[in-house]
Amino acid sequence: MRIDLHTHSTASDGTERPAGVVAAAARAGLDVVALTDHDTTAGWAEAAAAAAEHGVTLVRGAEVSCSHRGTSIHLLSYLHDPAHPGLAAEMAKARESREHRAERMVQRIAGDFPRLTWDVVQAGTASGATLGRPHIADALVRLGYFPTRDAAFAEVLHDGSPYYVPHYAPDPVTAVTLVREAGGVPVFAHPLASNRGRVVGDDVVEAMVEAGLGGLEVDHRDHDHAAREHLRSLARRWDLVVTGSSDYHGAGKENRLGEHLTAPEQLERLLDQAVGAAVVAPR
Work out how close the CB of 20 gets to ligand AMP at its nearest, in angstroms, rounded to a whole number: 17
Answer with the entry of Zn ion, ligand AMP, Fe ion, none that 223 interacts with (C-beta below 5 to 8 A by kind).
Answer: none
Residue type, 62: A
Q: Is 132 exposed, middle or buried (0-12, 13-18, 19+ CB in 10 A)?
A: buried
Residue 253 interacting entry, from ligand AMP, Fe ion, Zn ion, none, C-beta within 5 to 8 Å by type = ligand AMP
- The DSSP secondary-structure symbol of 192 reads T
Return the closest-CA partner of residue 60 out of 82, 34, 24.
Answer: 34
Distances (CA, A) of 46 to 24, 49, 53, 163: 14, 5, 11, 35
Handedness of CA 72, 93, 243, 206 (dihedral sign): positive
For residue 78, list its beta bridge partners: 61, 185
- Asked whether position 249 contacts ligand AMP by CB under 6 A, the answer is yes
The reply on whether position 13 binds ligand AMP by CB under 6 A is: yes
Residue selected from 189, 199, 211, 261 as contacting Fe ion according to rule CB under 5 A: 189
Contact call for residue 4 and Zn ion (CB under 5 A): no
Task: Determine which residue in the list 37, 138, 219, 247 makes contact with Zn ion, applying CB under 5 A.
Answer: 247
Name the residue nearer to Fe ion (CB basis): 13 or 219. 13
What CA–CA distance (Å, rounded) separates 73 from 96? Answer: 18
Strands lying side by side in the sheet with 71-78: 3-4, 32-38, 57-68, 71-78, 185-188, 215-219, 241-244
Does 237 engage in binding with ligand AMP (CB under 6 A)?
Answer: no
Q: Which does 138 bind (CB under 5 to 8 A by kind): Zn ion, ligand AMP, Fe ion, none?
A: none
At closest approach, how far in Å is the CB of 188 from Fe ion?
A: 10
Does residue 153 belong to the site contacting ligand AMP (CB under 6 A)? yes
Q: Catalog residues that contact ligand AMP under the rule CB under 6 A.
A: 13, 38, 132-134, 149-150, 153, 196, 249, 253
Q: Which residues bind Zn ion (CB under 5 A)?
A: 63, 247
